[in-house]
Amino acid sequence: MIGGRVQAVGFRLFTAEVARREGVVGYVRNLPDGRVEAMVEGTPGAVERFERAVRQGPPGARVASIEAESPSPSGEFTEFRVRS
């Protein structure tokens, strides 16, 4: 979960661009409480680069917190999607 000023600032599209660049799969979506949820799978290096970029966010965003988990890859994702 990603908290801070992360909605209405292009955060999901930014996240999708980073995911494509790093070659990770999964999804990103807004949550009703104002946070953003991102689920990603990929090589450890790609996931680390993804997380580092998302911590910065796009211009206008202010990432205040990230709660990260490292579950085993599910294999259910074949691409990265922006969900509503």
Instruction: Write down the pLDDT at residue 74.
Output: 82
Strands 25-30 and 80-83, bridge-based pairing: parallel
Range of the domain at 73: 2-83
Residue 26 CA to residue 40 CA, distance in Å, equals 4
Closest CA to 8 of 24, 30, 23, 26: 30
81 membership: H or E segment, kind and range:
strand 80-83
Residue 35 annotated to the active site? no
pLDDT given at position 75? 83
pLDDT along the chain (84 residues), means of 10: 96 98 97 96 95 95 91 86 93
Domain of 69, CATH number, reads 3.30.70.100
Is 12 an annotated catalytic residue?
yes
Whole-number pLDDT of residue 81: 97
Report the pLDDT value the prediction gives residue 3, as an integer from 0 to 100.
Answer: 96
| Tally of domains within the chain | 1
Q: 66: how many CB neighbours lie within 10 A of its CB?
A: 16
Cα–Cα distance between 56 and 78 in angstroms, integer? 26
Q: Residue with structure tokens 């211009």?
A: 59
Question: Which is catalytic among the residues 5, 29, 30, 49?
Answer: 30
